[in-house]
Amino acid sequence: MRLHDLKPQPGAKHRRKRLGQGESSGHGKTSGRGGKGQTARSGSSIRIGFEGGQMPLVRRIPKRGFNNARFATNHIPVNVEVLNCFEDGARVDEQKLRAEGLVNGKGDGVKILGDGELTKKLTVSASAFSASAKAKIEAKGGSCEVVSRKPAATAKP
C-alpha cells in the first residue's frame, strides 16, 4: 500500500449542502430556513428553552421533590501514595497538602484514599479516611486523626 492508494472509508465523506443555488437544487429561495421571521435572518440564534417571551415550560411546570445535593459533603480525594513526598515522621494536614499542591479547589475537607503504597511513618490529619488508607498508614506506624471541617448542626430543642 502506498500513499496514493489511501482512501477514506465509504460513507465518511459527505458533499456540502449548497444553499441558495436556484429552485431546482431543492435548497433555493429560502435555503432551508423556512419562511420569514427571526430565524430566517443572518446571525440569528435563540437560546435553548426560549419561547418568544412566553413563560418557558421549565418555569411553568410545578417544582416538586427534594434534592439532597445541597446538603452533601464534598471531600477532596488524596491517595496515600502521594503522601510519600513528606519526610519520615512528619505531621500532614490540609494546609501542608495545599502548600505542596496536592489539594486544590473548594471542598468540605480532605479524604485520604488507599490507592498506592505508603513508605513512611506519618501522622495524618484529615476529614475522612478510607478503611484501606487507615490500615496502610497504621501499618507503617503512623496515626490517623479525624478533624471535622464544618461545625455539627445542633437540633433545636
Domain ranges of the chain: 74-146
Residue 153 pLDDT level (bands cut at 50, 70, 90): low
Q: Which of 3-12, 111-120, 134-143, 145-154 has the lowest mean pLDDT?
A: 145-154
Strands 123-126 and 143-146: parallel
Q: Any bridge partners for residue 123, and if so which?
A: 91, 143
pLDDT of 152: 52
pTM of the complete model: 0.57
**Dihedral over alpha carbons 22, 23, 24, 25 (to 10 degrees):** 60
pLDDT of 58: 93
The residues, ordered by sequence, that sit 6+ positions from 114 with a Cβ below 8 Å of its Cβ are 79, 80, 130, 131, 132, 133, 134, 135, 136
Does residue 149 carry a pLDDT above 80? no
Domain 74-146: top CATH class: alpha beta
Does residue 79 carry a pLDDT above 60? yes
Query: Phi, psi at residue 14, to the nearest 5°?
Result: -125, 150
Does residue 112 carry a pLDDT above 80? yes
Handedness of CA 105, 107, 109, 111 (dihedral sign): negative
Helix (H, G, I), strand (E, B) or coil at 35: coil
- pLDDT tens readout for residues 31-58: 999 999 988 999 988 999 999 999 999 9
Does residue 64 carry a pLDDT above 80? yes
Q: Are 123 and 88 in contact (CB under 8 A)?
A: no
* Mean per-residue pLDDT, 19-30: 93
